[in-house]
Chain A
């Protein structure tokens, strides 16, 4: 019997283009399109910056070290156009295709020969506000750093020909080790940690918001389409009706989550893999999720999974309750709006702060509202080595879930599910009359 009801829920929901769009197509396409655009933009701008770029150089030094530097740029594979004894700003304004100009000022070689700091000036003209424009300037700065390092080696060689300039310039090899709650973070993952922390917070928040949205619509649509009265007189217990709705919500949320994960994974990996294709580049960071798993023990994964399950059931039941007092889907969506504050404000706080930074009172408040953010709280507290918060949050979330399901089941049993809207309407009319 429940199977038939669940199938009906899924058919009636997934055939609705509005639901299909918000549940599956938007999260999937939004991230894929955004990731694709970023990948395309980054690849083309950096390729252009590195492959075809002509470097415009104004040489007002005309001496040994500026010549060495210009030859070095040529050896790097760039086309170099040199202007001598000219104002770099004029070159920038008069040569249309010149958007960056490097100037070796007068005295450049003299300074280096006499142990003084020498300057290289860069002039950039940005035509638009695209990331590409800034990226080009960044890459030119990188080139100047390389010129500086190269000239250092030349100078060291000239001063002490028997010394390895690589050793003098870079005598220390850095080997970072990072530990979280006593567990070592894999080296490849250190740079990704901030990004991962944000993801671990945002994903459950999106999941909770989607669940409330879907579940509130499920009953509200019965009101809107006037199918609720017939449904409630069918020879099925009200608890089974509630259960079938919750199972339907769980399946739809699972589908939405999968779609979100596929889209999000593409989104975060696409721009990074763009670096790998660049010529002359040593490659940017690449996304390797596998070392992440070594950070978590089985207890963290299992308890977070349990927290996800109960949170979704709790917010699903709450959504069904809110949906039952709404005459239509649009009204149901307005009822769930304020709930987002309870979910997103602590969620965002947890993104930026460690739990140990919260006072005991704030930690208790977080536990109190944790049925909405339990997966985040359980995961973070176990990860940060404050397990009592995880256990307290999980216990309260399970209790809250049972309470919510009981209230929803009781509400379905009573005639309030049909008469509450009538009562609310009458109250509204009375207020208006006053």
Chain B
């Protein structure tokens, strides 16, 4: 089995603050891998390092064998990154935005049409993005991340800001693309239902360290609880 993401002893400092503390895990190709943890646990920092935006203080991070420090340009050809609070160019229309991204990734026209379908914005796809609601913008960005059919999609809170129906729609799209096109997905989420539904394996992360890792079933069994939410509370602890 090909390893999509390998992380060994990853440490990241912001000044004197240690954000990641000897983080180690692997993601297999074609897998949907979830990073779950409280705010400030280090999820976004981990995803940003994999996406070549931040450099590790120490440790090794490889994407399909390419080191993110030594070969960032090669890594960027394989990934598609969706930040948690991403925006899109306000004065482009939704369609122009997807077409622009399509040209950057050199994808065929039918991939862009698929992107338009995933975004499910109807006639609004021809309107400027500045007129979109938060949810519409998020759907467009998810569509952008998936339509390029990357080998690795890095999705930070993909359904953040979406209502129940649209969140379900996006979750289905992620699952469909991952399975149909063998896209490996690494995502972070606060929504345990979403993680349970989407992820093949889950890593629980707290204070920059991996607390536990496994399939949802394994974790539920290991902690002797009914669902992932209870696993989270038991492994990491609730709010004091």
Is the pairing of A and B real? yes
Chain A interfacial positions (CB closer than 8 Å to B): 1, 4-5, 7-8, 11-13, 15-16, 225-227, 229-230, 232-237, 414-415, 418-419, 422-423, 426
Name the B residues within 8 Å of A236 (CB-CB): 76, 104
The answer to whether B76 touches A233 (Cβ under 8 A) is yes
- CA separation between A344 and B7, bound complex, in Å? 53
Name the A residues within 8 Å of B83 (CB-CB): 226, 229-230
Contact of A16 with B91 at beta-carbon distance under 8 Å, contacts A11-B96, A233-B81, A234-B104 already known = yes
The answer to whether B100 touches A8 (Cβ under 8 A) is yes
Contact of A12 with B90 at beta-carbon distance under 8 Å, contacts A1-B104, A226-B85 already known = yes
Give the 6 A-B residue pairs with the shortest CB-CB distance, closest first: A15-B91, A226-B87, A225-B87, A233-B81, A229-B83, A235-B77
Of all chain B residues, the one with the shortest Cβ separation from A417 is: B53
The answer to whether A4 touches B81 (Cβ under 8 A) is no
Contact of A12 with B91 at beta-carbon distance under 8 Å, contacts A233-B79, A233-B81 already known = yes
- CA separation between A181 and B181, bound complex, in Å? 74
23 CB contacts below 8 A, A to B, read A1-B104, A8-B89, A8-B92, A8-B100, A11-B89, A12-B89, A12-B91, A15-B128, A225-B88, A226-B83, A227-B86, A230-B82, A230-B86, A230-B144, A233-B51, A233-B76, A233-B79, A234-B101, A235-B73, A235-B104, A236-B104, A414-B55, A415-B55
Contact of A233 with B15 at beta-carbon distance under 8 Å, contacts A11-B91, A11-B96, A16-B91 already known = no
Name the B residues within 8 Å of A414 (CB-CB): 55
Name the B residues within 8 Å of A8 (CB-CB): 89, 92, 100
The verdict on B8 contacting chain A, using a C-beta distance below 8 Å, is no
- CA separation between A415 and B91, bound complex, in Å? 27
The answer to whether B89 touches A225 (Cβ under 8 A) is yes
- CA separation between A414 and B128, bound complex, in Å? 32
Name the A residues within 8 Å of B76 (CB-CB): 233-236
User: In residues 56-99 of chain B, which contact A (Cβ within 8 Å)?
Assistant: 73, 76-77, 79-83, 85-92, 96
Name the A residues within 8 Å of B141 (CB-CB): 230
Known: A16-B91, A230-B83, A233-B53. 8 other contacts (CB 8 A): A15-B92, A227-B86, A227-B88, A230-B86, A233-B80, A235-B77, A415-B54, A419-B14
Q: Closest CB-CB distance, B148 to chain A, in whole Å? A: 9
Chain B interfacial positions (CB closer than 8 Å to A): 14-15, 48, 51-55, 73, 76-77, 79-83, 85-92, 96, 100-101, 103-105, 128, 141, 144
Name the B residues within 8 Å of A227 (CB-CB): 86-89
Of all chain A residues, the one with the shortest Cβ separation from B49 is: A415
Name the A residues within 8 Å of B77 (CB-CB): 235
Q: Closest CB-CB distance, A414 to chain B, in whole Å? A: 8
Of all chain B residues, the one with the shortest Cβ separation from A16 is: B91
- CA separation between A16 and B92, bound complex, in Å? 10
- CA separation between A227 and B87, bound complex, in Å? 5
- CA separation between A415 and B88, bound complex, in Å? 21
Q: Closest CB-CB distance, B151 to chain A, in whole Å? A: 12
The answer to whether A418 touches B54 (Cβ under 8 A) is yes
Name the A residues within 8 Å of B100 (CB-CB): 4, 7-8
- CA separation between A11 and B88, bound complex, in Å? 13
- CA separation between A12 and B83, bound complex, in Å? 21
Name the A residues within 8 Å of B14 (CB-CB): 419, 422
- CA separation between A233 and B101, bound complex, in Å? 12
Name the B residues within 8 Å of A235 (CB-CB): 73, 76-77, 104-105
Name the A residues within 8 Å of B89 (CB-CB): 8, 11-12, 225, 227
Name the A residues within 8 Å of B103 (CB-CB): 1, 4
The answer to whether B15 touches A426 (Cβ under 8 A) is yes
Max chain A Cβ within 10 angstroms of own Cβ: one of B81, B89, B105: B89
Name the B residues within 8 Å of A13 (CB-CB): 91
The answer to whether B90 touches A237 (Cβ under 8 A) is no
- CA separation between A244 and B85, bound complex, in Å? 25
- CA separation between A223 and B3, bound complex, in Å? 34
Name the B residues within 8 Å of A16 (CB-CB): 90-91
Name the A residues within 8 Å of B128 (CB-CB): 15
Name the A residues within 8 Å of B96 (CB-CB): 11
Q: Closest CB-CB distance, B55 to chain A, in whole Å? A: 5
- CA separation between A237 and B51, bound complex, in Å? 14
Name the B residues within 8 Å of A234 (CB-CB): 76, 101, 104-105
Of all chain A residues, the one with the shortest Cβ separation from B100 is: A8
Name the A residues within 8 Å of B54 (CB-CB): 415, 418-419
